[in-house]
Amino acid sequence: MSRLSFLITAGPTREHIDPVRFLSNPSTGKMGYAIAEAVLDLGYDGMLISGPTCLSVSDKISKISVTSAKEMCESVLENIGNFSVLIMSAAVCDYRPIDHFDQKIKKSSSHLNLSFERTEDILMEVDKIGYDGIKVGFAAETQNLEKYALNKLHDKKLNMIVANDLTKKGAGFATHTNIVSIFSDKGGKVNLPLMPKQEIADHLINFIVEYDKKYNN
């Protein structure tokens, strides 16, 4: 049994405007849940922190359900000390409404103006507490995939980033498949062709294990 243990985030977050409306994205959580199952299948310990999804995961994986970016950030910071690898596969909203209305907003005019603020940057918060485990991020882009992925790898002080082009058929949100490139902070790059997300998850965990053996032992 490896010493590695995995904390995985998955799914979207929701930033509520009023009790019936929220800001979110199309993430279904399939990639993150596949990673959680891969962790279990390959014999490692793990925890899943999930935004709202319709998916289920084995009860052998601890799961914490959250809604907002703030809740996900708090949960990651509370639990990360127990794990040697953080995989941030969740599609966390970048913005939330500054004002939250306790009652449903009624239609009263042809326009509604809302102001937004940045949500918590979970990876930056993790860096602030001095977490020294392996950090894996995800980048979903519609252009300049490698450039933006490598920028995020550097800016977020990641060890590895998984990048996919949302414009490619079979890749991205709400699909059972994906097409990804995995970059490491050591200059490594692996391109994975179209395949089921579960297979990508297996490859990713194995890449992390090999990275750990090569650079941390």
pLDDT digits (tens, 9 = 90+) for 65-98: 999 999 999 999 999 999 999 999 999 999 999 9
Residue 120 one-letter amino acid: E
For residue 45, tell me if it sits in a domain: yes
Active site members: 25
Query: CB-based contacts of 179: which residues, under 8 Å, 6+ apart?
Result: 164, 165, 168, 170, 171, 192, 193, 194, 195
pLDDT means per 10 residues in the chain (217 residues)? 85 95 93 96 96 94 97 98 97 94 85 92 95 95 90 96 89 86 94 95 96 91
Q: How many CB atoms lie within 10 A of CB 207?
A: 18
CATH of the domain at 26: 3.40.50.10300
C-alpha of 143 from chain center: 19
Q: Has residue 203 been placed in a domain?
A: yes
Q: Which DSSP symbol is given to 80?
A: G
Residue 77 sits at the vertex; the CA angle it makes with 184 and 130, to the nearest 5 degrees, is 55
CA distance 124 to 140: 18
pLDDT value of position 47: 97
Asked if the structure places residue 9 within a domain, the reply is yes
pLDDT of residue 27: 92
Is 13 within the bounds of a domain? yes
Burial level of 81, CB count in 10 A (0-12/13-18/19+)?
exposed
Q: Where are the alpha helices (DSSP H) in the chain?
A: 30-41, 69-79, 122-128, 145-155, 197-215
Number of domains in the chain: 1
The pLDDT of residue 1 is 38
- For the chain, how big is the Rg over CA atoms in Å? 18
Q: How far apart are CA 40 and CA 84, in angstroms?
A: 15
Q: Would you say 66 and 13 are in contact if contact means Cβ atoms under 8 Å apart?
A: yes
Range of the domain at 149: 5-93+116-215
pLDDT in tens, 47-70: 999 999 999 999 899 999 999 999
For residue 166, the model assigns a pLDDT of: 85
Distance of CA 9 to the CA centre of its chain: 5
Could you tell me if residue 167 is inside a domain? Answer: yes
Does residue 109 lie within any of the structural domains?
no
**In a domain? residue 103:** no
